[in-house]
Amino acid sequence: MYDKPNTSTARLLQSAQHAATVLLVEDSEDEAHLLYAELMARGFNMDYTRVQSRQEMSHALDAHQWDLIISDHVMPGFDSLSALETLRTSGKDIPFIIYSGSIPDDLGHHAMLCGVGDVVRKGNVDHLLPVLHREIRGARARLSAREADNRLQTIISTDTLSGLPNLSRFCALIDANCDDDNEPHGALLYIDIDRFMRINQSFGYQAGDALLTMIARRLGECVECNATLGRLNADRFGLYLPSATDHAAAHTMANWVLKAFDMPFKHDSYELWLTPSIGIAMLPDDGENALELIAHAESAMTVVKRQGGNAICFFQPELNVGTTERMALETDLRYAIDRQELEVLYQPCLDTTRRIVGVEALMRWNHPLRGPIPPTRFLPIAEEIGLIVELGEWVLYQACSQLRTWQLMGLEQLTLSVNVSAVQFSQPRIVTTVHRVLKETGVNPANLILELTESVLMQDAGSTISMLRSLKNLGVRIAMDDFGTGYSSLAYLKRFPIDLLKIDRSFVQELPGNDEDAAIVRAVMALASSLQLQVVAEGVETEDQYQFLSSEGCNRFQGHLFSPALNAAKLAEMAVDVRMGCVRRQYSMLH
């Protein structure tokens, strides 16, 4: 049963602009109306609906939006804790207040631990009134935060040009599909537009962007409704077909994609004929997740490109070139530490006065025969062969030892950032390792910053929070690296005990001209400000980028505009004048 006050006052209240919508869980109509009258008399505008059973409450929660729930404790066949459980089952975030004269103190305390906003004795309306205002403000603040989080996630996960999912979102959608299916099958098509660079060179990038938009629209029109289409980068698109359970079905769909390019694309008075090269990887034979499928489909697409394009190729294991070289690198990497081929470089981090306030430790491999090998080449190998933990501990010890040397030279405030890999972070011994290194090197824990990527932190948020708190208990600080490239929920971000956000260089490189990247940076800065987090921008290479980031409130910067990564000797050379004045001289020596 539902009953509302049928008075002229109530009807006026229903049309009031800022009237709070209140769900009263109360078995007494008189008690409900009395509370309504007392609150209205004190200036609290409200419109209420009364329910007195679980079924009525569930129906009301499904049917309407509510600003507040006020519940009596004891009712026939129903009580406040049962009402709270009904709210939880609905999944809605609505402030819940118990207003009762018969709830014991210990049960009231238990209810607040379970999520009740407050417990107020019946008749104490003067106490209830500020509680209502407080809970409404809190709910609205949470709603604003969720809306901001949703806007940020939309910006981050959508390719602005085409409106399609970008690479990160495309991978997430595929992986979610794989997780939902006990025996996942499907096909991934990697679509590259042949010789598209000629379009940009002949007509300009604006025309190229217009054509990419047309291509995205045409691809969207030819694919089946349950397919996932995304723009992976530049002129490359991905198409995931969960219903393509065999090669024949995948080949049929790939032929439809080829036919989509039979008609020319029009630009001004020109008809432009384009063709695609399509590589196909099958799930689960060619990969068990999105990144594996994309990598293998790209290998197959490369074969088509080498053969002239405008064709289809399925992935075969033998297409993976460089296997022999890779095995040789694996062997050499196992001995790289003992042979002293690895080196730690340090990239300075500057503040708005362009003073060096910290460094990030970066590992490099100087191979005796192959020369410098970039981390993007050898770190994935180290992870696959189980060597990444040993390498990570080596870097941590070397970097902390060097930081202690600088501290003894007078740079007590210099901070050191060290990256922690996903494999390292998953090892329980990471806390013990950090504690041991700090103790052996004598480094002040407050000067050490451990950097973890957004994707690593979000793998298992519950376990992550526990591990981060253990690390924070050592006194170190935590930075979320590559922020914006993953899918951080704002709810988890607020719970993570982190100190810094690092804006990924991919959002910095086209500033300030790229409106999408500018919007992302502004959103990140606003988010960091609300959570009282420091922000570091990576990959700052131009003065315009620096000026834009500074104007938006960023106060820490890394990038080649200031300095590349340097060896310890060079940084020591820069630190001849110790104490406060040395940093300005250090910066001047970089130019």
Q: What is the DSSP string of 62-126?
A: HH---SEEEE-SEETTEEHHHHHHHHHHHT----EEEE-SS--HHHHHHHHHTT-SEEE-TT-HH
The segment(s) of the chain belonging to CATH 3.40.50.2300 are 8-154
Residue 322's pLDDT is what? 52
- pLDDT mean for each 10 residues of the chain (591 residues): 39 52 92 91 91 92 92 88 91 91 84 87 90 89 77 75 90 82 84 86 85 93 86 93 91 93 87 92 90 90 84 82 67 87 91 88 91 86 82 94 88 89 82 94 93 75 80 92 62 78 88 88 87 90 93 91 86 52 40 38
The segment(s) of the chain belonging to CATH 3.30.70.270 are 167-317
Residue 14's pLDDT is what? 38
Q: What is the CATH number of domain 345-359+391-589?
A: 3.20.20.450
| Residues ≥6 apart with Cβ < 8 Å to 314 | 247, 250, 251, 279, 280, 281, 282, 300
The segment(s) of the chain belonging to CATH 3.20.20.450 are 345-359+391-589
Q: Which CATH architecture has domain 8-154?
A: 3-Layer(aba) Sandwich (3.40)
Residue whose structure tokens are 């460094």: 359
Burial 334-350 (b: 16+ CB within 10 A, else e): eebeeeebbebbbbbbb
Residue 319's pLDDT is what? 64
576 secondary structure, DSSP code: S
Minimal CA–CA distance to 274: which of 213, 206, 196? 196
Cα-Cα-Cα-Cα dihedral sign, residues 416, 419, 425, 430 = negative
CATH superfamily of 167-317: Reverse transcriptase/Diguanylate cyclase domain (3.30.70.270)
Q: Is the pTM of this model over 0.75?
A: no
Residue 10's pLDDT is what? 38
563 three-class SS: coil
Residue 32: both structure tokens together: 């409900």
Strand (E) or helix (H) holding 512? none
Minimal CA–CA distance to 495: which of 457, 445, 522? 457
